Structure 1
Amino acid sequence: MNGTSSTHSSLTLSTFLIAALLLGLLFAQAMTSIPRLSITFDEDVHISTGYSILRTGDLRLVEDHPPLIELWMSWALLLSPDTPDPEKSPAWEQGDRRLFVRNEIWWNQPIDTWVIPSRIPIVWLAMLLGAFLFRWATDWFGPRAGLLALAFFIFDPNILAHGTLATLDLGVTCFIFIAMFGIQRLLRRPSWLNLVTGGVFVGLALGAKVSALIVLPVSVGLMGLWGLNRWRKKLVGRLLIYLGVAFLMLWAVHLFDFGPLPGFSISLPAPTYWNSFLRVGQHISRGDSAYLLGETYVGGRWYYFPIVFALKTPLPAIALIGTGMFTSLLSAWRSPKERLQVLILASLPASYFIMSMTNKINLGYRHILPIVPFLYLFIARLVSRPTQYAMRSTLHVLRITFYALLLWQAIGALRVWPFSLTFFNEIAGGPQSGYRYLADSNVDWGQGLKATRDYLEAHSWPDVKLSSFTFFIRPELYGIKATPLPPLADAPAVLPTRFNPAPGTYVISASTLRGLQLIDREMYNWFWHREPDDVVANAMLVYYVPPRDPAPAWLAQCTAPMAPLSPPVAAEGFGRDDLRLIYFDCAQAWLYPEGGRSPGWYALYRGGETEGAFTRAQRELARLVYEQRAQRDT
């Protein structure tokens, strides 16, 4: 394989020390972030599932994904004498994971006592991923390229964000990358040891998350392509050994369980895994709620992940990755010797990205996180051979450019710390503007409650009302004194007086603002049409609603084609049963109740055949207060 002459054995002590220092910087960033972040949406489920398996050896709470990462993150809880016994929970017998986790097991303990210890093992996986990235980049492209790729990696806000949370995304990213590392090593140096270790690595990836299944066709395809030339008659046998080792590793992750699948009479090894596979398939076909560029919808948009990548990847990385991919494809086109190398680098990230674009789950950058370390290999490749793309006289300028771009990325990562999850690049206007474009784990996954508490303690906002994406967390668990709003558990199902919110201070998370986890996506539409008075942790939006003096006295509804609000809906939505209700045909004339001397509201349908130029002109003179838009799921 051309372009891989640099080997790990050529590394100097200074190179190792610099790499260790960079990994230490990653560790420092992560460890100083962890205590500042409140629990995010899925952490309670993953921690409790892993802990229950370690404590009981029972897989009954495993549902959507294999348990490897959950087991890894939860082991430290076994060291505490105060952790509860899962089998004493009434929900344990039911096997109801959500009920078990959110209503029973942890709430008699401070949240940080079980969340923080479970996040630290994920930091170690982030460091392991960085070490393998450095090793691969160094083996192929030399020490300087390896160090630069690692430096960009440790200052990637998306890696930092998910490397500090007890969730699956960083873990599956790590093990997918290690699996592909094993594949490239097997292809370059075929041996029984590399064949077996390659199978082990793939099995670990499969045990991390169902989406890691993409590794199988990619790895088998690469082995087949390479093996046709090298192994010939031995190819099928080696593939079977490789897959057999991978499955044994996956089965070991599932504690060698054996039994029937739900709904089937046949018994199989690892039935829990196959059940997880079926459940994820159902989730993908069903879709999930998402927000993109002003639209809240259920299902998938093929352009969702390209936009997410463009807005949340640091611009220096985008510039170098794009250049590295272009020059790599150019080299592969010109030289057959380069093609296998480029194919190995590109096959997994390309396959994973396409897979993400074609499903109905648009939950955030985390679902394309496994492509990120492979993209930094393209930066390493670019760094390793600048003489192919520039005159020697410009090499010094190129090196300065690389370091300047690295500095730019590092500054961006440090500026958003400790809220790396909320990173958005300059195209989006930076982290404080991200909520305008995306929601969910792209910007607000519930991590901002501690920052909200500190903010409210430092300010004297009156009558605070709180809406948080982590609806299962009572605000008082973090010391927040506020009236709960939907979707919090103790709040009403629908925002009271949503057309005319009561005076006070509203702290609304970016995800619930866009309708996620709500029974009515438009519930907070009133706030969509106002700029927040402040933004906390780039994710919690503060709105002050002052008392209205004089109070609006009337509601005038256009009857073309019909009045939008019935009297009961109007009374509930405005919180007033004393409004003067007036009806008029806005297609023919405009009504000014009380001669326009007192404030009030108009309600009418936007657009349509009944809205002429006159009506449109009158509507545009008014300030839009609330817009109930047509619901569209697909």
Structure 2
Amino acid sequence: MSKSSSIIQYGLLGLIVAAAFILMFNASLKESATMDELAHIPSGYGYVKYLDYRLNPEHPPLIKALAAFPLLFQKLNFPVQNRYWQKDVNGQWAVGAQFLYESGNNADEIIQWSRLGPMLLTLLLAIFIYIWSKELIGRWWAFLPTFLFVFSPTVLAHGHYVTTDIGAALGIFIALYYFIKFLFKNSRRNLILAGLAFGVAQLMKFSAVLLIPFFVFLLTVFYISKVYHDWNETAPKARLKRFSFRAVRYVKNLFLIFLIGYLLVYAAYFVFTINYPIEKQKSDTEFILSSFSVEQLAEINVWMSGNKILRPFAEYLLGVLMVAQRSGGGNTGYFMGEVSASGWWYYFPAVFILKEPLPSLILIGLALLLSIWQILKSKSYKLKAVINYLGLHFAEFSMISFVVFYWAYSIKSPLNIGIRHILPTIPFIYILIASAFKKWINSGATVIKSLLVAVLIIWYVGETIFVAPNYLSYFNEIGGGTKNGYQYVVDSNYDWGQDLKRLKDWTDKNLPAGRQIAVDYFGGGNPKYYLGDKVEYWQSAKGNPKYEGIDWFAISINNLQGALGQLHPGQSRNPEDEYGWLKEFRNPYQPDAKAGTSIFIYKL
């Protein structure tokens, strides 16, 4: 590659990454804290400032700690003397509210500084996508998956929030990347990198635990393919010895990767539990796991938490068990006109079809059809062809397998709260798209096919620019567009509390002096902090605010859909919480105004 070509290549990558940062930063400036940020930001600050892990144990520390690192250089008041910190078990929400809004701090500055870490991790993932894609499909085709990733509304939305989802995507991506590199080149350097990347993934999000069975699966397939390839070249009497030794070596190396990874996990948890009193850690663990379904596991965890050597692992294990319990229990939410806590098996496929930009869906559909046609045409489903494919395209096979595996796990889980939970599969889907289209375009009629892809890419970017900065609420044309997406699903797909600052802007312009607005808000913001005396907290059971002399009412669409949606069999709701007075007064879905996309405003 010439020097000028290299300059163009990395210059273009730099421009793409810079554009993504500008789009995320601009969106962040306009948004209030989302629901999960209310817990994650103070938790991270507790880790890096006080080396204390008493808040938010159900998520690993790395994202939160990185987000809170810039806060160390500010003079902030943190409520360490408050009972929510001192006495409560995981008082994350109360501590978050006090830290951000009730301690004399500048909440917006804290939120913006905290979001820098996740944004940088998003950009790092984009660079890794380019690096791996370049190795697989070439330096120019590598721009296609990188471009799709950085201009994805879902990525731009969740890439700038202090949550674990973009971290999970990065951790899993680099873990798989270095694991595959080690399989093909068993050097000590690659072993250490694979182990460290695996450990980083575990410190990002607990769903990365799924890498353990997935790596076992990949290693098994890799071993079988190598045995098949070398079978005829090995003397019959030497086969048992050769392939047995190989199996032992593979198992030993996998064990070392896991060991290195969990040593990194131990080190991180060791640092962040230094000042977490061991007595409180044990009592907190015992309380949190008091209703855990597998009593023996809970007892082991409680015992470990009281051991000075094992307690870092105990805190990690506590998070794993909490996530397992929550995933199995589901979360009450609204989807397709229904309210349920038991989940829907078709939730993720449906939400993906509604929220992924239409040109991207077309690219995915065409890539899938092209791949199926190629398999049928070349008869690649025969055993010998499969083995040859694994030898030449094992990385591609790994990506396909992970997408299927992770989607199957997500579909089975009743925890249906957002498309963000399948974010770790998005980079792999985009790389697979690029690989399929490279083969198709190179097969002939290059100009026409390239024009088709170019049109779809321009359309894709247009979708993103048009919806900016409301990336979280983006819905494609199938979902009725961003304005109507709430009809299908809400929560972190549409309304996560991001529009409270826009409600403030609306009241500053439209609310008469001395008048109040009743607010039923969902999210990590604080209406009193932004609106002051203009706001009166409200709920359905309090009736029509007009009878209290309040002429305006605002409600988060997540709360409204939870009140109006049809109940799933077995689901209950107090009739007083169904906003009957609003339905009698007018059509709730025809507000007089909106703050952003997610807060509906009514003149009473």
Instruction: Mark yes or no: TM-score above 0.5.
Output: yes
From 21, 26, 30, give the equivalent of 1:27.
21
Query: Residue 327 of structure 2 aligns with which residue?
Result: 284
Look at both structures and tell me which one has the larger radius of gyration over its CA atoms: 1
Query: Residue 180 of structure 1 aligns with which residue?
Result: 176
Distance 2:3 2:416 in 1: 43
CA drift of 1:75 comes to 0.5
From 413, 416, 437, give the equivalent of 2:464.
413
Query: Residue 603 of structure 2 aligns with which residue?
Result: 544
Question: Amino acid of the residue matched to residue 224 of structure 1?
Answer: T
Q: Secondary structure at the match of 2:106?
A: coil
From 110, 114, 123, give the equivalent of 1:114.
110
Query: Residue 569 of structure 2 aligns with which residue?
Result: none
Question: Amino acid of the residue matched to residue 160 of structure 1?
Answer: L
CA drift of 1:459 comes to 3.0
CA drift of 1:502 comes to 8.6
Q: What's the CA shift string for 1:367-415, capped at 9, x where partnerless?
A: 1111111111112202321246x5x2x2111111111111111111111
Instruction: Indicate yes or no: 2:482 matched with 1:427.
Output: no
From 159, 165, 169, give the equivalent of 1:163.
159
Matches within 5 A, 1:127-138: 127-138=123-134
Instruction: Indicate yes or no: 2:370 matched with 1:327.
Output: yes
Query: Residue 267 of structure 2 aligns with which residue?
Result: 252
Query: Residue 490 of structure 2 aligns with which residue?
Result: 439
Comparing 245-254 with 19-28, which one deviates more in the overlay? 245-254
CA drift of 1:270 comes to 0.7
Q: What's the CA shift string for 1:174-204, capped at 9, x where partnerless?
A: 1111111112222333322112211111111
Instruction: Indicate yes or no: 2:86 matched with 1:93.
Output: yes
CA drift of 1:520 comes to 4.2
Instruction: Indicate yes or no: 2:146 matched with 1:150.
Output: yes
Question: Amino acid of the residue matched to residue 23 of structure 2?
Answer: Q
Instruction: Indicate yes or no: 2:560 matched with 1:513.
Output: yes
Matches within 5 A, 1:436-515: 436-459=487-510, 464-470=517-523, 473-479=525-531, 482-485=534-537, 491=538, 494-497=541-544, 504-515=551-562
Q: What's the CA shift string for 1:487-525, capped at 9, x where partnerless?
A: xxxx45724159999983322111011127997485235
Q: Secondary structure at the match of 1:427?
A: coil
Distance 1:32 1:326 in 2: 38
Q: What's the CA shift string for 1:78-121, capped at 9, x where partnerless?
A: 011x2124533332222432355245333221211211100011
Distance 1:205 1:465, change over 3 A: same
Distance 1:16 1:513, change over 3 A: same
Distance 1:496 1:67 in 2: 42
Distance 2:401 2:2 in 1: 24
From 579, 582, 587, give the equivalent of 1:524.
579
Q: Is the contact made by 2:486 and 2:494 (CA closer than 8 Å) also made in structure 1?
A: yes
Q: Secondary structure at the match of 1:418?
A: coil
From 400, 422, 427, give the equivalent of 1:346.
400
Distance 1:139 1:109, change over 3 A: same
Query: Residue 318 of structure 1 aligns with which residue?
Result: 361
Q: Secondary structure at the match of 2:602?
A: strand
Q: Is the contact made by 1:287 and 1:360 (CA closer than 8 Å) also made in structure 2?
A: yes
Distance 1:36 1:232 in 2: 55
Q: Is the contact made by 1:304 and 1:357 (CA closer than 8 Å) also made in structure 2?
A: yes
Instruction: Indicate yes or no: 2:30 matched with 1:36.
Output: yes
TM-score by length of 1: 0.78
Comparing 158-167 with 57-66, which one deviates more in the overlay? 57-66
Distance 2:545 2:407 in 1: 39
Distance 1:301 1:499 in 2: 38
Comparing 87-96 with 343-352, which one deviates more in the overlay? 87-96
Distance 2:204 2:49 in 1: 20
Distance 1:9 1:255 in 2: 46
Distance 2:3 2:510 in 1: 58
Instruction: Indicate yes or no: 2:90 matched with 1:73.
Output: no
Question: Amino acid of the residue matched to residue 528 of structure 2?
Answer: E
Instruction: Indicate yes or no: 2:375 matched with 1:381.
Output: no
Q: Secondary structure at the match of 1:255?
A: helix
Distance 1:254 1:372, change over 3 A: same
Distance 1:501 1:321 in 2: 54
Aligned residues: 529
Distance 1:89 1:460 in 2: 36
Distance 1:285 1:9 in 2: 54
Question: Amino acid of the residue matched to residue 505 of structure 1?
Answer: W
CA drift of 1:282 comes to 1.8
Comparing 236-245 with 226-235, which one deviates more in the overlay? 226-235
Distance 2:39 2:573 in 1: 22
Query: Residue 84 of structure 1 aligns with which residue?
Result: 77
Q: Is the contact made by 2:347 and 2:411 (CA closer than 8 Å) also made in structure 1?
A: yes
Q: Is the contact made by 1:290 and 1:299 (CA closer than 8 Å) also made in structure 2?
A: no
Percent of residue pairs bearing the same amino acid type: 27
CA drift of 1:538 comes to 1.5
Comparing 104-113 with 399-408, which one deviates more in the overlay? 104-113
Query: Residue 552 of structure 1 aligns with which residue?
Result: none
Q: Is the contact made by 2:370 and 2:440 (CA closer than 8 Å) also made in structure 1?
A: no
Distance 1:398 1:437, change over 3 A: same
From 261, 274, 299, give the equivalent of 1:264.
299
Distance 1:56 1:309 in 2: 40
Q: Supply the RMSD in Å over aligned alpha carbons.
A: 2.9
Distance 1:402 1:368 in 2: 25
Distance 1:42 1:432 in 2: 24
Q: Secondary structure at the match of 2:339?
A: strand
Comparing 510-519 with 86-95, which one deviates more in the overlay? 510-519
Which structure dedicates a bigger proportion of its chain to helix? 2
Q: Secondary structure at the match of 1:291?
A: strand
Q: Secondary structure at the match of 1:302?
A: coil
From 228, 249, 258, give the equivalent of 1:234.
249
Distance 1:202 1:504, change over 3 A: same
Comparing 54-63 with 195-204, which one deviates more in the overlay? 54-63
Q: What's the CA shift string for 1:331-356, capped at 9, x where partnerless?
A: 45624233434321112222111111
Distance 1:299 1:474 in 2: 30
Q: Is the contact made by 2:517 and 2:551 (CA closer than 8 Å) also made in structure 1?
A: yes
Query: Residue 104 of structure 1 aligns with which residue?
Result: 98
CA drift of 1:243 comes to 1.1
TM-score by length of 2: 0.81
Q: What's the CA shift string for 1:119-141, capped at 9, x where partnerless?
A: 01111000001001111111100
Structure 2 unmatched ranges of 5 or more: 228-245, 287-297, 305-309, 565-571
Q: Is the contact made by 2:56 and 2:92 (CA closer than 8 Å) also made in structure 1?
A: no
